[in-house]
Amino acid sequence: MFLPSKIEKIRLILPKMYYDETITLLGELGFLQIEILENESKKILKDFKEIEFDKINKYGQKIRSLENSLIKQKIINRNIKSLKQVFHEADKIKIYQEVNEIKKEEEKINASIKESDSMINIVNMMKDFKHDFKILSGTRIDSFLMQKSKDNNSFISLVKKEIDCECIELESAYIFTIEKHNKEKLANLANKEEINLIKIPEMLGKIEEITEIEQTNIKKDKERLLGLNKKLEKLSKKYYGLVANLKEYLDIEIKKTSIIPKIGSTDYMTVIEGWIESKKIPVLEENLNKLTREQSVLEKIKTKEEPPTKMENPVSFKLYEFFIKFYSIPKSSEIDPTIFFGIAFPIFFGLMVGDAGYGATFLLLSFWLIHRIKHPPKTSHIPRKLAKFVKTIISKNSLVMIMKAIIPGSIIAIALGIIFNEYFGFALPYTSLFNVTKNVSTLLLISGWIGVAMVSFGFVLGALNSLYNKKFKKAIGRVGWLLVAWGIVIVGLAVLHKESIGFSNLEAVGSYISIVIGIILVLRSEGTQSLMEIPSVISHILSYTRLVGILLASVILAQVINLIFISSLSGSIPIIIGGAIILIFGQLFNIVIALFEGGIQGARLIYVEFFSKFFDGNGNLFKPFKIERKNTANMYVKNVKKT
């Protein structure tokens, strides 16, 4: 739980005849991260050759194109056992040409409908044009349409001045009729003035006649489309399921070819190397022996390489892996700090907010955003520029993770707000269990002890982590820093309580001894330069007082905003309105500040002041080779749970 899953490197040796089945088995199990062969293996092996890649790719493109053209249908999973079967089934499908012709015909009809719609839109803009449209075009002339606006007059004057043309003013548009050789000149003038001109196509008849003809054309085209769709639907019902099955199988085969450069072979055997979770080795070995009829060998490889990391946390803390990965992936041999982050962050966030009203606001905001992202509305009322700006900063998935992480912190903020009797800075008619503004010194002391606890726990984890990895010298250094930190804390408490820090005070003497022993241990393990870190230890402990600083800033600002509003109630109506505006915008501002300060500073206290004592990071995520199936049945694995 506190350490990533144990990962080991293994080597699989098997007869070459079982290569393809083995790769399929590995993909279905999803246990092994396949790696390039180690140098020792490379010396005696040659690269594995795959002779059917071009054929697989060719059939894959053909089947993929057909699947995209057909209409989706319900799919029944099929047992497809070999590439030979796939090629045979693909060759039996005789509808490639027919489907292509249907899709081409659909494109032509859709283009025709679009053209008819365009003509109807143009004539609708010219609804008060009473003449036959044939006068607007000919062998020597073209006509252009411009919608009316306030800025048209200067452009019309410019066109009349520069080009010999006929300008007809309609109710909502202008028509320019010019000789064909002046088209480019008119286009240049329009571009210069940023005017949009619409070319009027050649049409015969008046508006009513043209509209009726085009509407009839659209109706006929849609009927043709319906006929083609029925034809395609019929073909899809017969073939879509099979095509989807074949497409998935070929995609898997293409994915399998991607690992070929990592595999070695001789004329009779194949060697595969990679990383696997230790607990999965027996399952892999059992399945492999069953597949190869006990003709395979699985051996562990002793290596100094750093294994990839497979984070393994309880389901309730999986969410916080996002924040650890954002900071740095732990190495497989060090403590995974996910659980510590998952406990500390909500507490820090809730304490810095410390208001039941703000906590409830964040709770509702989190639920609303999560629901909105997972169930987006058809039309959004959020300004596009704001939505686009948010997307450039953070992805939807990341935003969901952050909102989920804020939920427990919001609940803690509500609970503390009830204890503090803080509701958007207002107090309800009951006596608070703890008053924030009257007990600042107590809060500072609590935050100081939180700092001592977090820094000390960080050093303890650092020592344990070093002992686990048999880095005894580094472990001694962590213990030394722990002694230095506690020695400084005891002296600091004595100064705060105005006690003697001379040799007459046994606690002070004990703290001096602790500091001296700690410094000696640090010097022995980390060298003289490490002493420069002593001020950092002190600042890291004191840094936790920002928990109270941000809480006080939020509470006091809310109370000031509320006081201004209450004072305005005794004034005139404009003053009351001004007070209400200050209340609304002031509270909104304070809510935003509380959200960002609580989130950012809460994470910072963990990342900088806590993680720096034990966490190195810079690990690599464990990425096993996996085959994901939706439309085809597994060939070898039936009941093994994938991870």
Instruction: Report pLDDT digits (tens) over 384-414.
Output: 676 676 777 778 888 889 999 999 999 999 9
Burial class (CB in 10 A: 0-12, 13-18, 19+), 641: exposed
The enclosing H or E element of 606 equals none
CA-based R_g, the chain, Å: 37
Bridge partners of 143, per DSSP, are: 177
Cα separations in angstroms, 204 against 12, 211, 218, 599: 78, 11, 17, 68
- Please state, for a pLDDT cut of 90, what percent of the chain lies above it: 57
Residue linked to tokens 């924030």: 436
pLDDT the model gives residue 643: 46
CA distance 368 to 592: 16
pLDDT the model gives residue 115: 92
CA distance 474 to 484: 15
CA distance 356 to 348: 15
Read off the pTM: 0.77
Burial class (CB in 10 A: 0-12, 13-18, 19+), 73: middle
Q: What contacts 59, CB < 8 A, 6 or more positions away?
A: 86, 87, 90, 246, 250
pLDDT the model gives residue 46: 60
The enclosing H or E element of 248 equals helix 207-257
CA distance 22 to 10: 15
> Nearest to residue 320, comparing CAs of 391, 410, 390, 408?
408
Structural domains present in the chain: 110-211 (3.30.70.340), 315-613 (no CATH)
Residue linked to tokens 């000390």: 456
* Ramachandran angles phi, psi of 175, nearest 5°: -115, 125
CA distance 475 to 464: 7
> Nearest to residue 48, comparing CAs of 78, 89, 5, 18?
18
- The length of the chain in residues reads 643
Task: Please write the tens of the pLDDT for every residue from 594-627.
Answer: 999 999 999 999 999 999 999 998 999 999 999 9
Q: Are 317 and 47 in contact (CB under 8 A)?
A: no
Cα separations in angstroms, 387 against 390, 585, 588, 594: 5, 21, 19, 22
CA distance 365 to 357: 12
Using 50 as the pLDDT threshold, list the residues of the chain that sit under it: 640, 642-643
CA distance 514 to 532: 18
pLDDT the model gives residue 642: 45
Q: Are 34 and 274 in contact (CB under 8 A)?
A: yes
Bridge partners of 299, per DSSP, are: 11
Burial class (CB in 10 A: 0-12, 13-18, 19+), 209: middle
> Nearest to residue 5, comparing CAs of 384, 280, 407?
280
Contacts 24+ apart (CB under 8 A), 539-542: 540/451, 540/455, 540/608, 540/609, 540/612, 541/448, 541/451, 541/452, 541/455, 541/485, 541/488, 541/489, 542/448, 542/451
CA distance 183 to 387: 41
Burial class (CB in 10 A: 0-12, 13-18, 19+), 355: buried
> Nearest to residue 616, comparing CAs of 84, 4, 117, 202?
4
pLDDT the model gives residue 237: 92
